[in-house]
């Protein structure tokens, strides 16, 4: 186990360097961060050259990247467009996005698994077919369409919830955005748990449990569900990274000041430290979530052994 | 839309082919990627094809019927599937109106009359007018062209690049295979909308090509992974060994023996990916970095209509409906093709 973790951690390094360098390259080599500081005006060449020197931008790209990574590991993520340090932006943005992610995951788990279990147990019946059609429809409608539609219906027309989220973003205001964010993954969780339940329902241990005379409820909750949820749990684990980075659209629609909002602002203003800093953290979250899921998998399913 | 049984493979802690940080686990058909649930579904659909050879691709129906090839068998299956018929008719219609939009819309999508801003439906203008006073119906019809162009070009690019690289890596193995997996991992680590925002915000072009290029850039690793797995399965078959024993070279084996038997999963994943790429293009256009005016695009129209949703929801609903229907059609088509190509599901 320990050797496996060390091997995985070592193998993460090239992926981490590659992903961050790719984003770094896009921001610093394709865009021009110094010109962006001046907005619409053309920068004075001498001033621009001075800023370039101060910001280490006159060096070759790989040197800039090494310098940047060096600074990051010392905890210095640079300065955002409004003069705040990127770390303080992160301190306000990540808790908000984390709350949104938690809401989305809870919805995914509760609704997705319930629908999956119901349709998996009634495979081929009308309930099953309608759930499958429903998941297809949910997948086909892009997030920004469902976002605006639900915001309009629940927030404006019927007035059940506040259409936008206040800067504090308490849990109660994040329910609707959480639903919007969760929808596509929800469809996937439903399909995954349906397949898994339908497959395990034919297993010997379920037949044994039924033959023992256990009530159906106990067979499903204790025997069937426990084994069928392993793939679902692993999917949800890896989904955390995707949800945190993928919330740009949702956060924009509901005016949530989280990671996606800050990233969008950073990209609009071509503020390189914000973009690269946030993406670096997101890549780390993604990689660590994947590793944790693989380890969790061994805990949940004793048949898996890591050598 | 029946789900396949996940294959009972050997116990493996990681994805096929050694280390795979985001690779599928044993019970999971395919691992999630940065592209969100829709793409995950696409990959899940295709991966089920590349596993068990089952009763063999051809002649699965046994003695009662004349042996048919996988493709003609699949075609027989498809023609009787209502999902396939409906979705392919819809796609055919979309392709026709994206080539000749004037067939069903007589107006000019760029000709607008500000005095009619945000007005509702009126005779001859069934979908009403948008904020600029343009006819929503005409713009919705003309918007199909951008979406279909981006979808088809991006899918062709990603499928060709991905299956070439993935197929070669799977066939030859060794260091090129490991290199491909590492490079693919790097692309999986980047959330796709985020990468699009960064990459496309620095491009100043009014054509569809930067968007197509970006989608190909982030889309090929998924298809490469499918093609690689599929080629690895196909090259272990006896007929490949037989061909090699008869003295066939690598090129001949790859093109004549492996490729025709490994292409099915790639076709399925490419069909479903087409739908998700159209949605991705609309999302990027919505965020202001995809297609740009004067290109008529559903994403741009939805983005413009969104602030006015209280006053004139029709401006948003029609392009959004067209977009969703298009994506749905491609995903359903991929689903039906998967069902037909997988002999285990009969």
DSSP string, B258-316: IHHHHHHHHHHHHHHHHHHHHHHHHHHHHTTSSS-TTS--HHHHHHHHGGGTTT-THHH
Q: Is the separation of the CB atoms in A270 and B197 below 8 Å?
A: no
Residues A96 and A47 in one domain: no
What does the alpha-carbon distance between residue A251 and residue A253 come to, in Å, rounded to a whole number?
6
Distances (CA, A) of B344 to A228, B3, B56, B341: 22, 10, 10, 9
Coil vs helix vs strand at B122: strand
Does residue B232 register a pLDDT over 50? yes
- Tell me whether residue A86 is in a domain: no
Coil vs helix vs strand at B31: coil
Does residue B148 register a pLDDT over 60? yes
With cut-offs at 50, 70 and 90, classify the pLDDT of residue B67. Answer: low
Residues A128 and A203 in one domain: yes
**ipTM of predicted complex:** 0.80
Question: Do B310 and A242 count as a contact with CB atoms less than 8 A apart?
Answer: no
A61 touches chain B (CB under 8 A): no
Residues A106 and A46 in one domain: no
Range of the domain at A55: 2-73
**Nearest Cβ partner for B190 among A19, A129, A298:** A19
Token readout for A230 is 């392993």
* Long-range contacts of the stretch A36-43 (C-beta < 8 A, 24+): A36/A269, A36/A270, A36/A271
Burial of B93-107, coded b for 16+ CB within 10 Å and e otherwise, reads ebeebbeebeeebeb
Distances (CA, A) of A232 to A113, B48, B109: 8, 17, 46
Residues A117 and A217 in one domain: yes
- Phi and psi, residue A163, nearest 5°: -65, -30
A42-91 pLDDT, tens digit each: 777 787 788 777 777 777 778 888 888 888 788 777 777 677 788 888 88
Residues found in chain A: 307
Token readout for A132 is 């499958």
Number of domains into which chain A is organized: 2
- Tell me whether residue A278 is in a domain: yes
Domains of chain B in start order, with CATH, are 10-66 (no CATH), 72-345 (1.10.3720.10)
Residues A68 and A151 in one domain: no
Element housing A66 (H / E): helix A61-73
Q: How far is B258 from chain A (nearest CA, A)?
A: 30
Contacts of A192 in chain B (CB under 8 A): 28
DSSP string, A145-174: HHHHHHIIIIIIIS-SS-SS--TT--GGGG
Residues A216 and A283 in one domain: yes
What does the alpha-carbon distance between residue B60 and residue A275 come to, in Å, rounded to a whole number?
54
Residues A51 and A123 in one domain: no
Question: Do A136 and B1 count as a contact with CB atoms less than 8 A apart?
Answer: yes
Residues A50 and A195 in one domain: no
Q: Judge residue B307's burial from the number of C-beta atoms within 10 Å of its C-beta, 0-12 exposed, 13-18 middle, 19 or more buried.
A: exposed
Residues A189 and A247 in one domain: yes
Q: How far is B65 from chain A (nearest CA, A)?
A: 27
Distance of CA A45 to the CA centre of its chain: 41
Contacts of B323 in chain A (CB under 8 A): 142, 145
Question: Do A231 and B275 count as a contact with CB atoms less than 8 A apart?
Answer: no
Between B221 and A34, the higher pLDDT residue:
B221
- Upper half-sphere CA count for residue A137 (Cβ side, 13 Å): 8
- Tell me whether residue A305 is in a domain: no
**If contacts are CB pairs under 8 Å, which of residues 231-290 in chain A contact chain B?**
231, 234-235, 238-239, 242, 245-246, 248-249, 252-253, 263-264, 267-268, 270, 275, 279, 282-283, 286-287, 290
Token readout for B284 is 């990027």
What contacts A135, CB < 8 A, 6 or more positions away?
A187, A188, A190, A191
What does the alpha-carbon distance between residue A88 and residue A111 come to, in Å, rounded to a whole number?
35
Question: Do A136 and B331 count as a contact with CB atoms less than 8 A apart?
Answer: yes
A113-135 pLDDT, tens digit each: 899 888 888 877 888 888 888 88
Distance of CA A68 to the CA centre of its chain: 25
Question: Do B22 and A230 count as a contact with CB atoms less than 8 A apart?
Answer: no
Residues A194 and A243 in one domain: yes
Instruction: CATH number of the domain at A139, please.
Output: 1.10.3720.10
Query: Which residue in B has a C-alpha nearest to residue A130's C-alpha?
Result: B1
**If contacts are CB pairs under 8 Å, which of residues 166-185 in chain B contact chain A?**
182-183, 185
- Tell me whether residue A252 is in a domain: yes
Contacts of B6 in chain A (CB under 8 A): 195, 199
Q: Supply the mean pLDDT for chain B.
A: 75
Question: Do B28 and A234 count as a contact with CB atoms less than 8 A apart?
Answer: yes
Question: Do B202 and A30 count as a contact with CB atoms less than 8 A apart?
Answer: yes
Instruction: Determine the longest span between alpha carbons in chain A, in angstroms.
Output: 86
The neighbouring-strand residues paired with A79 are A85
What does the alpha-carbon distance between residue A219 and residue A225 come to, in Å, rounded to a whole number?
8
B261-313 pLDDT, tens digit each: 888 888 888 888 888 888 888 888 888 887 877 788 888 888 888 877 777 77
**Nearest Cβ partner for B13 among A152, A235, A304:** A304
- In this structure, the number of other CB atoms found within 10 A of the CB of residue A6 comes to 10
Q: Is the separation of the CB atoms in A143 and A184 below 8 Å?
A: yes
What contacts B167, CB < 8 A, 6 or more positions away?
B227, B228, B231, B254, B258, B259, B262
Give the residue from A11, A39, A73 where a domain finishes: A73
Residues A117 and A32 in one domain: no
Q: According to the per-residue pLDDT averaged within each range, which of A117-126, B152-161, B231-240, B326-335 is highest?
A: B152-161
Question: Do A26 and B198 count as a contact with CB atoms less than 8 A apart?
Answer: yes
Coil vs helix vs strand at B18: coil
What does the alpha-carbon distance between residue A276 and residue A79 come to, in Å, rounded to a whole number?
12
A129 touches chain B (CB under 8 A): yes
Q: How far is A30 from chain B (nearest CA, A)?
A: 6
Distances (CA, A) of A238 to A230, A246, A267, B116, B268: 13, 13, 26, 49, 24
Instruction: Determine the longest span between alpha carbons in chain B, in angstroms.
Output: 77
- Smallest CA-to-CA distance from A187 within A130, A250, A142, A131 is with A131
B345 touches chain A (CB under 8 A): no
Residues A100 and A26 in one domain: no
Token readout for A131 is 């759930």
Contacts of A149 in chain B (CB under 8 A): 320
Question: Do B313 and A242 count as a contact with CB atoms less than 8 A apart?
Answer: no
What does the alpha-carbon distance between residue B200 and residue B197 come to, in Å, rounded to a whole number?
6
B117-141 pLDDT, tens digit each: 767 777 767 777 777 777 788 888 8
A221-234 pLDDT, tens digit each: 888 887 788 878 77
- Tell me whether residue A78 is in a domain: no
- Tell me whether residue A173 is in a domain: yes
């Amino acid at each position: 186990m320990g050797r496996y973790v060390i091997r995985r951690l070592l193998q993460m390094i090239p992926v981490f360097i590659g992903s961050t360098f790719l984003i770094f390259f896009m921001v610093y080599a394709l865009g021009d961060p110094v010109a962006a500081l001046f907005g619409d005006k053309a920068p004075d060449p001498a001033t621009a050259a001075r800023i370039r020197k101060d910001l280490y931008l006159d060096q070759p790209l790989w040197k800039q990247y090494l310098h940047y990574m060096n600074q990051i590991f010392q905890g210095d993520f640079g300065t955002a467009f409004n003069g705040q340090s990127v770390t303080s932006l992160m301190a306000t943005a990540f808790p908000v996005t984390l709350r949104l992610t938690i809401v989305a995951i809870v919805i995914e788990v509760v609704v997705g698994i319930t629908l999956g279990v119901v349709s998996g147990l009634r495979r081929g019946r009308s309930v099953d077919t309608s759930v499958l059609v429903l998941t297809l429809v949910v997948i086909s409608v892009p997030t920004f369409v469902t976002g605006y539609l639900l915001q309009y219906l629940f927030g404006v027309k019927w007035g059940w919830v506040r259409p936008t989220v206040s800067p504090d973003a308490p849990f109660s205001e994040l329910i609707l955005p959480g639903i919007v964010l969760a929808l596509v993954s929800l469809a996937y969780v439903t399909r995954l748990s349906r397949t898994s339940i339908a497959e395990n329902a034919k297993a010997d241990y379920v037949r044994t449990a039924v033959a023992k005379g256990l009530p159906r409820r106990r067979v499903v909750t204790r025997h069937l569900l426990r084994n069928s949820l392993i793939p679902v749990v692993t999917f949800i684990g890896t989904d955390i990274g995707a949800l945190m980075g993928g919330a740009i659209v949702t956060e924009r629609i509901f005016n949530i000041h989280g990671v996606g909002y800050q990233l969008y602002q950073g990209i609009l203003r071509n503020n390189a430290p914000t973009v690269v800093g946030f993406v670096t953290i997101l890549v780390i979250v993604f990689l660590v979530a994947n590793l944790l899921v693989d380890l969790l998998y061994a805990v949940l399913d004793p048949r898996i052994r890591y050598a | 839309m029946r789900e396949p049984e996940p294959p009972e493979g050997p116990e493996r802690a990681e994805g096929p082919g050694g280390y795979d940080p985001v690779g599928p686990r044993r019970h999971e058909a395919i691992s999630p990627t940065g592209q969100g649930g829709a793409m995950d579904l696409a990959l899940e659909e295709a991966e089920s094809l590349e596993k068990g050879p089952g009763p063999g691709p051809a002649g699965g129906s046994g003695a009662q019927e004349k042996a048919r090839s996988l493709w003609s068998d699949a075609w027989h299956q498809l023609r009787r599937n209502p999902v396939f018929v409906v979705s392919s008719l819809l796609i055919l219609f979309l392709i026709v109106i994206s080539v000749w939009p004037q067939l069903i819309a007589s107006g000019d999508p760029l000709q607008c009359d500000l005095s009619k801003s945000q007005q509702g439906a009126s005779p001859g203008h069934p979908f009403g007018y948008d904020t600029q006073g343009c006819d929503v119906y005409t713009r919705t019809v003309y918007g199909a062209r951008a979406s279909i162009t981006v979808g088809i070009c991006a899918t062709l690019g990603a499928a060709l690049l991905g299956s070439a690289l993935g197929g070669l890596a799977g066939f030859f193995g060794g260091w090129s295979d490991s290199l491909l997996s590492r490079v693919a991992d790097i692309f999986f680590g980047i959330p796709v909308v985020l990468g699009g925002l960064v990459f496309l915000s620095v491009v100043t072009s009014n054509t569809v090509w930067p968007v197509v290029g970006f989608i190909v850039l982030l889309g090929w690793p998924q298809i490469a992974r499918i093609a690689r797995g599929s080629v690895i399965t196909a090259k272990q078959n006896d007929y490949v060994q037989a061909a090699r024993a008869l003295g066939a070279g690598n090129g001949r084996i790859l093109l004549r023996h492996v490729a025709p038997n490994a292409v099915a999963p790639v076709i399925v994943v490419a069909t479903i990916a087409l739908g998700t790429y159209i949605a991705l293009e609309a999302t990027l256009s919505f965020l202001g970095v995809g297609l740009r005016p004067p290109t008529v695009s559903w994403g741009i129209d939805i983005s413009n209509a969104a602030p006015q949703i209280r006053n004139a929801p029709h401006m948003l609903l029609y392009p959004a409906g067209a977009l969703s229907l298009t994506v749905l059609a491609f995903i359903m088509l991929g689903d039906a093709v998967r069902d037909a190509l997988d002999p285990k599901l009969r």
